[in-house]
Amino acid sequence: MSKKILLCQIAELEDVATKKVAHPLQKNLDLVLIKNQQDYYAYHNICPHFSVQLDNAKGQFFTYNQRWIMCAHHSAMFEIETGLCVDGPCKSRQLTAEPIVLENGGIYLQNCSEIVNS
């Protein structure tokens, strides 16, 4: 049976906001949660160009014109809705998305078959 794991409360994200959270199933992996208007997305916090985290420090992610999330290290820009790189050294590659569901005021990682012990 699949399970859901709480990542954070919906109220923790502003109108257009990002939040860094630890991946609950994979050790040493963070997720970036993104709210864009009324839509929510979750991606691995790894740039496909050089496998570095997208944020510069303390979970701060750059958005450009509130349309793209930008890798702080190489300035690659990714579409919020798809994770597709539209400009930069990894153009046409994508961020790895994670399935999420909003329920009871929370953002949950969905389809979790088992919790991996770290």
Classify residue 118: in a domain, yes or no: no
Classify residue 22: in a domain, yes or no: yes
Classify residue 117: in a domain, yes or no: no
Task: Judge whether 107 and 40 are in contact, CB under 8 Å.
Answer: yes
What is the number of residues in the chain?
Answer: 118
Paired with 100 in beta bridges are 109
Give residue 44's pLDDT: 96
Contacts of 41 (CB under 8 A, 6+ apart): 33, 34, 80, 81, 83, 97, 100
Classify residue 98: in a domain, yes or no: yes
DSSP string, 14-65: -SEEEEEEE-SSSTT-EEEEEEETTEEEEEES--TTTS--S-SSTT--EEET
Residue 82 belongs to domain spanning? 3-112
In total, how many domains does the chain have? 1
Classify residue 82: in a domain, yes or no: yes
Q: From first to last of the 118 residues of the chain, give the pLDDT tens digit.
A: 468 999 999 999 876 588 999 999 999 999 999 998 889 999 999 999 888 889 876 777 877 677 888 898 888 999 999 999 999 999 999 999 999 999 999 999 997 755 443 3
Looking up residue 73, the CATH number of its domain turns out to be 2.102.10.10
Classify residue 40: in a domain, yes or no: yes
